[in-house]
Amino acid sequence: MIRVVIAEVRKLRRPSLLLGTIATVGGLSALFTSIVFLMINSKDGNSKRGEHVGVEELSQASGLIYGFRLVGIFLGIVALCIFASQTAQEYSLGTLRNLLVRQPSRMKILAGKFIAMNLFALVMVIFAGTMSIALSFALAGRAKVDTSSWTTGAARKLLFESTLNIFIATLCFGAVGMILGLLFRSPISAIAVGVLWTLILENILAALITSIAKWLPGLNFSNLGEGGNMILSYKHSLATSLAYLIISGGIAAILFKRRDVAN
Amino acid sequence: MKKIAISISDLSKIYGKNAALSHGNFEVPVGTVCGFVGPNGSGKTTTIRMLLGLITPTEGSATVLGESIEHPEKYLPRVGAMIEGPAFYPGLSGRENLKVLAELGGFPLSRVDELLAKVDLADRGGSKFKTYSLGMKQRLGIAAALLPNPELLILDEPTNGLDPSGIQEVREIIRDLAAKGTTVFVSSHILSELEMISEYLVMLREGKVIFSGKTQELLASQKPIILAKPEYEVDLTKLASQVEAAGFSSVVIDSTLHITAPKEASAAINRAAFEAGITLSSISAIQQTLEETFFEMTGENT
């Protein structure tokens, strides 16, 4: 399987994809972190859904990772798009037949591909985190935020936990992208369905029928990235996310294993 | 006893009510070049995909290099294949595309540059695949198929898009490999090419194997033809009557009478024409080409 991972990494590190992704996540990270610090006095808010985070809150240890947490869900969407396109393009380009001739074990192909994309996602999350932390320090003075708590052991612990949670959430979104890629076998369809569902349909459903909100996959993945909240616990989101991934992943894996490669 | 590289037995693939391949049977001996021919949609690519483990047969069985196609992992490391044209990642260079496959198959990366040179792509190996011409893409596909230093090479239309010198290069590559003992199973629409290189032939029509065996046996089994051309075109009908009276059937094509008869009948036909007062400007016996045989057997027509 290690050979599959190495081969996949070779595909993922191509400049157009790697630099394009780095630029995208770097841009998102910079945007969200800047909004938190540069709009600290804005009455329109400086956080998600118009919420306001003040100097006092940002001066605590958790202030270090505030911008990073905000960008978490968007890292998930980026991962969903990349995992979906990298999987579906094997069908649309016809390259899957080459892969299967050189590695006939379809499960090894699938697992190797997933591991390689996870490594790619890890690089993406670490880059976004580094960018956000650096920018937070750079903008703190201008926003009159005291950074002395940011260098404590508690802040480092929070940073580690947040990075891990955002990585897990990113993997969940990515896994959904991969499953959609396997099901639709077309990058455009897989990405369109994934993004439309996550960013639009889930939010409409959650607003219309509040009782089902805690069972929607995208909201649970996002909640994992935030480390849980008052409404939805981290444990609930972890269990729900795992259930979704095991069931849908299992169906997609069976389809991938049994389906004829006729294109 | 001959060793067999490919053997299929009652192999079928049914899609709904249509049989892409129906109860196919043939064998390809080790170390031979075997042409695989048939009109579009006759089941060639489906058969090749089943041999490579990409499609599951509906019924029947097959072996490749002595292993059942139910376990492609046992023989695919010794098989090179190019199916339905070259498929690569457009954003990667030709060299990187080959490296992806070399890493996947566990082949040394040093093979990549050797093969790029072999298919005359050494100077363009660093260019992105999307910038390649059709011929270059085809040559990269052949290089990919050669990565495992295969015992069996399966090529589906390898000369598509190649210019005459490219076609000649592919022919030489196939001949070289065959000389070294590699079995080559090659489908092509250029039947004159296959006639030159194929010792064996498998012919499909509408999902059925209509011939499998030595190419020469197939050609020898075809009816010989004598071409007779009278000096004056107006004598064609009269000549046809004389030939018919002598017991041979004939047809006029391009001012020439095509007579179904062995070459030994040439003298009798010449004499009959002379006695009828017809001077022949030419008379010659020919053997049908593979292309003519193909059209006759498959009912295809150009």
pLDDT by residue (tens digit) across A216-258?
888 888 888 888 877 788 889 889 888 988 888 888 888 888 8
Same domain for B15 and B67?
A: yes
pLDDT in the model for residue B139: 87
Same domain for B14 and B31?
A: yes
Number of domains, chain A: 1
pLDDT exceeds cutoff 90 at B144: yes
The domain of A180 spans: 2-258
- A26 in a structural domain: yes
- The stretch B102-131 carries a mean pLDDT of 90
- A94 in a structural domain: yes
**pLDDT above 70 coverage of chain B, percent:** 94
Three-class secondary structure of residue B226 per DSSP: strand
Q: How far apart are CA B94 and CA B132, in angstroms?
A: 9
pLDDT exceeds cutoff 70 at B164: yes
| Mean pLDDT of chain A, nearest integer | 88
Q: How far apart are CA B61 and CA A19, in angstroms?
A: 48
Please choose, from the candidates B133, B149, B151, B118, the residue with its C-alpha nearest in 3D space to the C-alpha of residue B29: B151
- A8 in a structural domain: yes
Q: How far apart are CA A256 and CA A5, in angstroms?
A: 18
Contacts of A25 (CB under 8 A, 6+ apart): A71, A74, A75, A78, A124, A127, A128, A131
CA distance B87 to chain A (A): 5
Q: Which residue in this structure is represented by tokens 């004159």?
A: B192
pLDDT in the model for residue A57: 82
Q: C-alpha angle B78/B79/B84, rounded to 5°? A: 165
Copy the structure tokens of residue A15. Answer: 């400049």
Best of B50, B74, B104, B137 to disrupt the A interface by mutation (most A CBs within 10 Å)? Answer: B104
Same domain for B82 and B9?
A: yes
Asked if the ipTM is above 0.95, the reply is no
Q: DSSP character for B71?
A: -
Contacts of A64 (CB under 8 A, 6+ apart): A133, A136, A147, A149, A150, A155, A158, A159
CB atoms < 10 A from the CB of B6, how many? 24
Q: C-alpha angle B218/B222/B227, rounded to 5°? A: 140
Please choose, from the candidates A11, A36, A12, A19, the residue with its C-alpha nearest in 3D space to the C-alpha of residue A98: A11
pLDDT in the model for residue B1: 60
Q: Terminus-to-terminus CA distance in chain A, angstroms?
A: 24
- A82 in a structural domain: yes
Same domain for B193 and B206?
A: yes
pLDDT in the model for residue B203: 86
Which residues of A fall within a CB distance of 8 Å from B54?
A: 97, 100-101, 260-262
Q: DSSP character for B83?
A: -
* A97 with B103: Cβ contact below 8 A: no
pLDDT, tens digit, 9 for 90 and up, residues A206-220: 888 888 888 988 888
Instruction: Determine the distance from the C-alpha atom of residue A155 to the mean position of all C-alpha atoms in its chain, rounded to a whole number.
Output: 22
- B188 in a structural domain: yes
Q: C-alpha angle A30/A33/A34, rounded to 5°? A: 75
Same domain for B160 and B213?
A: yes
Number of domains, chain B: 2
Comparing A2-11, A226-235, B5-14, B78-87, the range with the smallest average pLDDT is: A226-235
pLDDT exceeds cutoff 70 at B29: yes
Same domain for B147 and B243?
A: no
- Cross-strand partners of B202: B36, B212
- The stretch B208-230 carries a mean pLDDT of 80
pLDDT exceeds cutoff 90 at A130: yes
CA atoms within 13 A on the CB side of B207: 14
pLDDT exceeds cutoff 70 at B301: no
Is there a contact between A237 and A220 (Cβ–Cβ < 8 Å)? yes
Q: How far apart are CA B183 and CA B26, in angstroms?
A: 15
Q: How far apart are CA B210 and CA B208, in angstroms?
A: 6
- The stretch A161-166 carries a mean pLDDT of 91
> Given B162, B193, B220, which residue is the final one in a domain?
B220
Please choose, from the candidates A85, A83, A100, the residue with its C-alpha nearest in 3D space to the C-alpha of residue A261: A100
- A263 in a structural domain: no
Same domain for B160 and B198?
A: yes
Q: DSSP character for B128?
A: B
The domain of B164 spans: 4-220
More confident residue, B72 or B262: B72
Q: How far apart are CA A1 and CA A7, in angstroms?
A: 10
- The stretch A105-129 carries a mean pLDDT of 92
Is there a contact between B121 and B140 (Cβ–Cβ < 8 Å)? yes
Q: What is the CATH number of the domain that holds B256?
A: 3.30.70.790
Same domain for B197 and B228?
A: no
Same domain for B215 and B228?
A: no
Copy the structure tokens of residue A106. Answer: 């379809």
Same domain for B181 and B159?
A: yes
Q: b or e along A170-180 (b: 16 or more beta carbons within 10 Å of the residue's beta carbon)? A: bbbbbbbbbbb
- B292 in a structural domain: no
pLDDT, tens digit, 9 for 90 and up, residues A63-111: 888 888 888 878 999 999 999 999 999 999 989 999 999 988 899 999 9
* A261 with B88: Cβ contact below 8 A: no
pLDDT, tens digit, 9 for 90 and up, residues A132-160: 999 989 888 887 878 888 888 888 999 99
- B69 falls in which pLDDT band (50, 70, 90)? very high
pLDDT, tens digit, 9 for 90 and up, residues A11-64: 998 888 999 999 999 999 999 888 888 777 777 777 777 677 777 787 888 888
Which residues of A fall within a CB distance of 8 Å from B96?
A: 10, 14
pLDDT exceeds cutoff 90 at B228: no
- The stretch B257-271 carries a mean pLDDT of 83
**pLDDT above 90 coverage of chain A, percent:** 39
* B76 with A93: Cβ contact below 8 A: no
CA distance B288 to chain A (A): 36
Which residues of B fall within a CB distance of 8 Å from A99?
A: 101, 104
Best of A3, A5, A98, A260 to disrupt the B interface by mutation (most B CBs within 10 Å)? Answer: A98
pTM: predicted TM-score of the whole model, two decimal places: 0.81
pLDDT in the model for residue A22: 92
Same domain for B169 and B195?
A: yes
- B302 falls in which pLDDT band (50, 70, 90)? very low
- The stretch B243-266 carries a mean pLDDT of 82
Same domain for B215 and B236?
A: no
Phi then psi for residue B79, to 5 deg, are: -120, 135
Is the backbone of residue B280 left (phi > 0), alpha (psi -120 to 50) or beta? beta
Q: C-alpha angle B239/B243/B249, rounded to 5°? A: 120
Given CB atoms, is A260 within the 8 Å cutoff of chain B? yes
Is there a contact between A181 and A129 (Cβ–Cβ < 8 Å)? no
Which residues of B fall within a CB distance of 8 Å from A7?
A: 100-101, 103-104
Q: How far apart are CA B8 and CA A261, in angstroms?
A: 20
Given CB atoms, is A13 within the 8 Å cutoff of chain B? no
pLDDT, tens digit, 9 for 90 and up, residues B178-202: 888 899 999 887 777 777 888 898 9
pLDDT exceeds cutoff 90 at B237: no
* B89 with A11: Cβ contact below 8 A: yes
* A99 with B104: Cβ contact below 8 A: yes
pLDDT in the model for residue B298: 67
Given CB atoms, is A211 within the 8 Å cutoff of chain B? no
User: If interface means Cβ-Cβ distance under 8 Å, which residues of chain B face chain A?
Assistant: 46, 49, 52-56, 72-73, 76, 79, 81, 83-85, 87-92, 96, 99-101, 103-106, 144, 147
pLDDT in the model for residue A145: 79
Alpha helical stretches, state H, chain B: 44-51, 94-105, 110-118, 134-146, 164-179, 191-197, 215-221, 236-245, 266-275, 290-298
CB atoms < 10 A from the CB of A41, how many? 11
- B300 in a structural domain: no
- B293 in a structural domain: no
SS (H, E, C) A20-89: HHHHHHHHHHHHHHHHHHHCCCCCCCCCHHHCCCCHHHHCCHHHHHHHHHHHHHHHHHHHHHHHHHHHHH
Q: How far apart are CA A238 and CA A223, in angstroms?
A: 9
* A14 with B79: Cβ contact below 8 A: no
Comparing B72-76, B148-152, B155-159, the range with the smallest average pLDDT is: B155-159
